[in-house]
């Protein structure tokens, strides 16, 4: 199963800046400024895990597309 690889996945160096900027937007800026709420501790943890899995999938698809272009 491909999601099993997510447990040992680390953020590639070239995506670290993008990872943390988007994480900050999703966890702090968007919820407060657009919807007026803050996450609970459990909500924060669930959203960090959700974001990390989605980012993992995005990086894998992007690497596959870039590999096909070469």
Nearby residues of 48 by Cβ (< 8 Å), 6 or more positions away: 23, 27
Q: Is 42 a domain residue?
A: yes
Residue 45 has pLDDT above 70, yes or no: yes
pTM of the model as a whole: 0.81
- Consecutive H or E run containing 8: none
**Distance of alpha carbon 65 from alpha carbon 70, whole angstroms:** 9
Q: Is 70 a domain residue?
A: no
| Helices 41-69/16-24 angle, 10° precision | 140
DSSP 3-state of 16: helix
Q: Is 7 a domain residue?
A: no
Q: Is 52 a domain residue?
A: yes
Provide the number of structural domains found in the chain: 1
Q: What is the domain extent for residue 47?
A: 13-65
**pLDDT attached to residue 55:** 94
**pLDDT attached to residue 70:** 53
Question: Which tens digits make up the pLDDT trace of 4-40?
Answer: 777 788 898 999 999 999 999 998 888 888 888 888 8
Q: Is 43 a domain residue?
A: yes
Q: Is 8 a domain residue?
A: no
């Amino acid at each position: 199963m491909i999601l099993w690889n997510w447990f040992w996945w680390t953020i590639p160096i070239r995506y670290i800046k993008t990872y943390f900027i988007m994480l900050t937007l999703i966890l702090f800026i968007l919820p407060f400024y657009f919807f007026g709420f803050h996450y609970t501790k459990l909500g924060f943890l669930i959203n960090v895990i959700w974001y990390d899995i989605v980012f993992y999938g995005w990086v894998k698809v992007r690497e596959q597309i870039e590999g096909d272009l070469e």
